[in-house]
Amino acid sequence: MTAVPETPAPDAGAGPAVHRLAVAGRGRAGIAHAMAIAQHDACTFAGAFAPRADLRRFARGAGFAAPLEGSLSRLRERAPFDALVVCAPFDSRAGVAADALAAGHDVLVDGLPARTLEGAAPIAALPPDVRARLRCATPSLFHPLLRRGASVLASGVLGTPRTVRASVFVSRVFSHGAPPHGDDVLDFAVGDLLVLLDHVLGPIVRVSGAAQRLYGERIDEAHAELVHANGVVTGLDASWSVPGYPRAAVVIEVEGEAGSLIASDDALEVDLADPAGGMPAGVTRVLPADLPDPLPFDAGEGSRALHAFVASLHGAAVGELAGDRSLRALGVIDGMRRAFASGAAEECGA
Amino acid sequence: MSRPGSAPRLLLGATCVDLPPRTTRDRALEVAGRFRESESLAVTLVKALAAGAEAVYAVPSPTMRAALAELRRAVPVLARLPHTPPSADLHYEPDFAREGERDGAGTLGAGFGAFALVPAMLSGELSASVAARCEHGARFLAPRDRRGLAVAAQATDLALAAGNARFFERMLAWGRARFDGLAGFETAHLGLLVRRLHEWGIEPDFVIAPVNPRGYAMKPDAAGALGALRRDGIPVLANELRAGGVVSLEEGVRFAREHGAHGLIPELVDLDDVASELRALGGPAGEA
């Protein structure tokens, strides 16, 4: 079933020129990006830096021959690069991104640039024309089904949204032997959903709600009402303490005047009162295998974003990668924390 | 280096007991619930073997060990290792990079096979840490149940992307010795892996990769993966036959066989009646 309108392939616009990409942070995401860069036709893996020597040793042992250094300045000396993919830990991510932007590089940040707006201050302090080169990628923005759902919403076939619900559930906090360090469900999963909501329904300006702490001091569950700038209200539920979700389940449900939509990483269902946008009346259901997958090498959930980033270096539209969206999501997370503490509605600002 | 003809033709895939399968969430939860009790899983394994499966493709996890322990007979397991649980995403560094559970040279337990890893241990090459992780997981598998080692796609594809030919040579030598049988690689990138293995002159006993009529998860694309299936020398065991539940098992199996798959790995999530559906696939005797 592929009657749902097509979205442009993530690599649309990629040209023949080759860019040199470096990676900051040799953690899980950094390794995945190095893999994808190394196998991408339109870029080369210039090198990487990570302060931790054991991670540099690991990357060398994996077989990467490009320079692996302990600092950004040292990497610049040894391996000139055009653009930097930043996968550093939260504590240093914004600083590294800001340094690279100030040095004139295009920058892709994997995930949100910080835990809080305050943490992203090094980026916010940059002149607007420098900050404009910032790109940020969260997984849900590039999931094929959620992307297709976003394009259906953007096409307007549902009419004005009346009810919007969004959720993210994942089984993590109680995972044996895998206690998270410092993060809570807002950092781990909600940020991704907020960036997606910003993309499909516009900026969020006000938030209220409540949080639950089940396993200690950290927030394990969140229930919130998000008010978008266009007046649409989204009800949000999030938990990382629900059994049965080895992978994060991101779901957006929209009920409009002319139909409804349920978009998730599992399936996309569009139910229309009348034929519209190339879809028939009734339910249209799309599964992952129904959608084209243009990635020749897939190193994980960041690979689609990397493809889009490389395409943007070749002149394709920035689209979902716009960095300001992630900064706004940080403002919403800050607002949620304030709202959970005060019990009142809080304004969000980035 | 290879042992042609020794790769199995039909395996029951049971990795979905420990790893997220490519299917709908409802189906995944349904199957997980069905096999929550080790007795249920044990009975299913026995039925699968009786119906023609030559081995079970599984993560040798505590869950699988509990099921195997219910049985008084050997159940040949092609072990998918190292185990890469989804919850590992809470760690900043990759599993293979973490120290602390490192078993070390003295406990790699492959006799002469461990010698293949000595250079890797000295240089920090990936195969040393991956083999140590495999060893860590192998303790959940009794010697009688070992049929072979399938290096998990996360490790295979990392070495593949980095162009690390030695990893493949060393893991084959160690895996064959340690698991008393076959050794091969699971991959998400069949086309590239087979091309590189031919260039490097490395012949694993098998490669496991997605094959289905929709081209779902076939890399670099459907045509490239099918081209790899047609090349001689490396038997391909096809999984993801139902393209995430979009096509029937019969359709997926027919497609894989028509395009040259050496063997089939239908997963538990692909099967409603394990015994009858595996029997219908013909098993080894029914192969053309």
pLDDT for A9-50, tens place per residue? 444 444 446 799 999 998 889 999 999 999 999 999 999 999
Q: How far apart are CA B267 and CA B247, in angstroms?
A: 14
How far A183 CA lies from chain B's nearest CA (Å)?
A: 9
**pLDDT > 90: percent of chain A:** 80
Q: Assess whether A171 and A34 both reside in one domain.
A: no
DSSP state of A49: E
Alpha helices in B12-125 (DSSP H): 25-34, 38-50, 62-69, 118-123
Closest-CA residue to B236 (of B215, B200, B263, B213): B263
Measured between beta carbons, the chain A residues lying within 8 angstroms of B129 are 58, 61
Q: Assess whether A24 and A38 both reside in one domain.
A: yes
Q: Assess whether A204 and A343 both reside in one domain.
A: yes
Per-residue pLDDT at A67 exceeds 70: yes
Q: Assess whether A149 and A262 both reside in one domain.
A: yes
Which of A2, A58, A306 is the best mutation test for B, with the most CBs of B within 10 A? A58
The residues pairing with A346 across neighbouring beta strands, listed in sequence order, are A207
Domains of chain B, CATH where assigned: 11-285 (3.20.20)
Nearest CA in chain B to A291: B216
CA distances for A241 relative to A170, A214, A217, B135, angstroms: 7, 8, 14, 31
Higher per-residue pLDDT: A86 or B94: A86
Beta-sheet pairing, B77-81 with A268-272: unpaired
Instruction: Please say which residue of A102, A117, A137 terminates a domain.
Output: A137
Q: Binning pLDDT at 50, 70 and 90, where does residue A293 land?
A: confident
pTM: 0.92
Q: Assess whether A217 and A280 both reside in one domain.
A: yes
Q: How far apart are CA B69 and CA B144, in angstroms?
A: 12
Work out how many CB contacts closer than 8 A connect A with B. 126
pLDDT in the model for residue A180 = 65
Subunit contact A63:B123, Cβ cutoff 8 A: no
Q: How many domains does chain A have?
A: 2
User: What is the CATH classification number for the domain harbouring A96?
Assistant: 3.40.50.720
**Any chain A CB within 8 A of the CB of B220?**
yes
**Do A184 and A212 contact (CB within 8 A), yes or no?**
no
Closest-CA residue to A263 (of A179, A154, A159, A137): A154
Subunit contact B88:A89, Cβ cutoff 8 A: no
Report whether the peptide linkage leading into residue B143 is cis, meaning its omega lies within 30 degrees of zero: no
Containing structural domain, residue A217: 141-299+322-347
CA distances for A269 relative to A4, A282, B280, angstroms: 10, 10, 34
Instruction: Please say which residue of A82, A102, A137 terminates a domain.
Output: A137
Q: How far apart are CA B122 and CA A214, in angstroms?
A: 46
pLDDT in the model for residue A7 = 45
Per-residue pLDDT at A84 exceeds 90: yes
Q: Assess whether A244 and A118 both reside in one domain.
A: no
What tokens were used for A262? 């349920």
Subunit contact A89:B92, Cβ cutoff 8 A: yes
Residues of chain B with pLDDT under 50: 1-2, 4-5, 100-106, 284-288
Per-residue pLDDT at A2 exceeds 80: no
Of A63, A244, A246, the CB nearest to B167: A63
Mean pLDDT to the nearest integer, A177-188: 76
Per-residue pLDDT at A263 exceeds 80: yes
Higher per-residue pLDDT: B109 or A99: A99
pLDDT digits (tens, 9 = 90+) for B207-238: 999 999 999 999 999 999 999 999 888 999 99
pLDDT in the model for residue B99 = 54
SS3 A126: coil
pLDDT in the model for residue A175 = 58
Query: Nearest 5°: phi and psi at A303?
Result: -70, -35
ipTM of the complex: 0.90
pLDDT in the model for residue A4 = 47
Instruction: Please say which residue of A117, A137, A157 terminates a domain.
Output: A137
